[in-house]
Amino acid sequence: AQKITQTQPGMFVQEKEAVTLDCTYDTSDPSYGLFWYKQPSSGEMIFLIYQGSYDQQNATEGRYSLNFQKARKSANLVISASQLGDSAMYFCAMREGNTGGFKTIFGAGTRLFVKA
């Protein structure tokens, strides 16, 4: 069965520094996708970045990068040059397979606090 684990309930980072949010996953399907979402205190869910299981290079989107280590089944999110607006809840998620409705499971989340 597929599973997503985020072991850091909360993280602190100084403004302008980089931070890594951990995510490990478990699946027996060779085809899967990994996602990160941000949930600010206002409550909306915002898609940040995507990594496919067959992608050779780590995904990057602006200040976000995904450190994909397939053998270790980890998909850590790296945020460079943290900003106060990065303070939010971050969810790692996984979609298994290529058929059906592309349903996705989510981890429990990591709350990031950016300090001025």
Partner 1 sequence: NAGVTQTPKFQVLKTGQSMTLQCAQDMNHNSMYWYRQDPGMGLRLIYYSASEGTTDKGEVPNGYNVSRLNKREFSLRLESAAPSQTSVYFCASNRDRDGYTFGSGTRLTVV
Q: Which residues bind partner 1 (CB under 8 A)?
A: 4, 33, 35, 37, 43-47, 50, 52, 91, 93, 95, 98, 100-109
Query: Among residues 82 and 110, whose Cβ is nearest to partner 1?
Result: 110
CB of 75 to partner 1, least distance (A): 14
Query: Among residues 13 and 38, whose Cβ is nearest to partner 1?
Result: 38
CB of 92 to partner 1, least distance (A): 9
Cα–Cα distance measured from residue 81 to residue 72, given in angstroms and rounded to the nearest whole number: 26
CB 89 within 8 A of CB 39: yes
CB of 56 to partner 1, least distance (A): 17
CB atoms within 10 A of CB 47: 11
